[in-house]
Amino acid sequence: MKLFLKIFPLLHFIISLLFVACAVDLIFLATVQLWQSIPLDGAASTRGHMDAVLESIALITVAVAALELGQTIVEEEVQREAHMSAPTRVRRFLSRFLVALVVSLSIESLVAVFRFSQDAPEQLPYAASVAVAAGILLAAWGVFIRFNRSAEELEPEAMEEAKQEDEKVQR
């Protein structure tokens, strides 16, 4: 059984590598798309270039989220060998995940607003719904943290252990 449990950090590491590989690929695609949109013959198509820039921002935003998830998994599951049964660690992992998700959704909604305001204004409610979803996630995360504050006070040893692990990871 212990051998079986030792496989999990390896699998988490592989998943993190896949997140990083996807992020690198997205960054490459965004770079290629941005480069190809630059008019080399002098015939400037501002509209096409703006669309390419917005699409590149969207790709980079997803890449940042993938990198953050990969880093979070490595730090929380491989380096710390954290087991998600501890409420303090669950809150930390969830917080890191939600930060990446809320920031990504917010940027994605801004990109959609810019794109739809020029091309298809009738699609703006869909972009606004992404922004509203990001706001709801942020508010729900705040409520979650507020309600779980008492749990942190009940388990000060888990918080102290998590802080010690942070010091080890930072070295």
pLDDT 10s digits, 48-98: 778 888 889 889 988 998 998 888 888 877 776 555 556 667 777 788 888
Residues in Cβ contact with 144 at an 8 Å cutoff, skipping those fewer than 6 apart: 91, 94
The alpha carbon dihedral of 48, 107, 130, 28 has a sign of positive
Whose CA is closest to 73, among 8, 140, 7?
Answer: 8
Comparison of pLDDT for 96 and 19, the residue scoring more? 19
- Predicted confidence band at 134 (pLDDT cuts at 50, 70, 90)? very high
Q: Provide the pLDDT for residue 92.
A: 76
User: Would you kindly state where each structural domain of the chain is located, as residue ranges?
Assistant: 8-170
Residue 162 has pLDDT above 70, yes or no: no
> What's at 150, amino acid-wise?
S
Q: Which of 3-17, 74-88, 103-117, 130-144 has the highest mean pLDDT?
A: 130-144
Tokens representing residue 136 in the block: 């709801």
Is residue 48 within 8 A of residue 118, CB to CB? The reply is: no
Q: For the whole model, what pTM was predicted?
A: 0.69
